[in-house]
Amino acid sequence: MKNEIALEAKSIFKSFYDPVKYDVLKDISFTINRGEFVSITGKSGCGKSTLLYVLSTLDTDYSGELLIDNQSVTNKLENELASVRNEKIGFVFQFHYLLNEFSVLRNVMLPGFKSNRFSEEELEHNAFELLKKLGIEKLAKKMAHKISGGEKQRVAIARAMINNPLILMCDEPTGNLDNKNTEIVFEIFKDLINSFDKSILVVTHDQKFADQTQRTIIMEDGRIIASSGIIY
């Protein structure tokens, strides 16, 4: 299992043309295996978020090739990419992006509505189990705008997990959180790796956080300059 590839980037280049041509990603190639916990660090503006958007198929304006679950997603149609995101990728952003009009439980269920893989009851059950795992099952019926920042981020993680994705992609998931909540989120990630065999890719500024991941990719100026691993 460990050596199966979840995501592979092959020589990805990307440039912005506004206001002048600016090469933001240069020849990015790497793989993430199943069950691997990888972090990306680097100075502000070096292109981490931009890379994550490309890897998550949200941004299709790049050259090179991207494979998710051994299938090329480069040049796929918009609605096919939407399905790939829905089924294989879970997202956690620095900002939680919960829908204020929905309860916590329905927010978690939202990506499940699209995939249609489970019945409404099963989906609700799964969502509740996830909330339990993250220790916030008491909030299930609360409206999303009535819970704290740390709780919101945990709800966002539950939402990212609902369709049982192959890989979880996170952009500064702890950027808005205090030390205690950061600790909680990290424990959750570790647990997901161990008990669900997920791959996790986290972009972070937090060196302490990065040090605890299995592998850290360091970027500078649009390139990968180092990739170091620790095993625990």
Ligand X SMILES: Nc1ncnc2c1ncn2[C@@H]1O[C@H](COP(=O)(O)OP(=O)(O)OP(=O)(O)O)[C@@H](O)[C@H]1O
Interface contacts to ligand X, rule CB under 6 A: 16, 18, 22, 24, 44-50
DSSP-derived pairing of the beta strands 71-72 and 63-68: antiparallel
Q: Which residue's CB is nearer to ligand X, number 48 or number 88?
A: 48
Q: Which residue's CB is nearer to ligand X, number 164 or number 176?
A: 176
Contact region with Mg ion (CB under 5 A), list: 12-20, 30-38, 46-54, 190-198: 46-54
Measured distance CA(9)–CA(64) in Å, rounded: 8
Spell 121-138 as b/e; 16+ CB within 10 A means b.
eebbebbbebbebbebbe
Which one, of 196, 172, 184, lies nearest residue 96 by Cα?
A: 172
The residue ranges that bind other proteins (CB under 8 A) are 49, 53, 56, 58-59, 78-79, 82-87, 89, 91, 93-95, 97, 99-102, 106, 110-111, 113-116, 159, 163, 171
Give the CA radius of gyration of the chain.
17
Q: Show the DSSP H helices in the chain as ranges.
A: 48-55, 78-88, 104-115, 120-133, 149-161, 179-196, 207-211
Measured distance CA(206)–CA(174) in Å, rounded: 8
Q: Which residue's CB is nearer to ligand X, number 56 or number 86?
A: 56
Binding mask 5-44 for Mg ion (x = CB under 5 A): ----------------------------------------
User: Cβ of residue 156: shortest distance to other proteins, in angstroms?
Assistant: 9
50 binds Mg ion per the rule CB under 5 A: no
Binding partner of residue 159 among ligand X, Mg ion, other proteins, none, CB under 5 to 8 Å per kind?
other proteins
Residue 180 has phi, psi (to 5 degrees) of: -65, -45
56 binds Mg ion per the rule CB under 5 A: no
Q: Which residue's CB is nearer to ligand X, number 24 or number 158?
A: 24
User: Cβ of residue 203: shortest distance to ligand X, in angstroms?
Assistant: 7
> Terminus-to-terminus CA distance in the chain, angstroms?
17
Binding partner of residue 16 among other proteins, ligand X, Mg ion, none, CB under 5 to 8 Å per kind?
ligand X
* Of 49, 56, 107, 126, the one binding Mg ion by CB under 5 A: 49
94 binds Mg ion per the rule CB under 5 A: no
107 binds Mg ion per the rule CB under 5 A: no
Measured distance CA(229)–CA(232) in Å, rounded: 10
Alpha-carbon torsion angle 127, 132, 134, 138, nearest 10: 100
Interaction site with Mg ion (CB under 5 A): 49
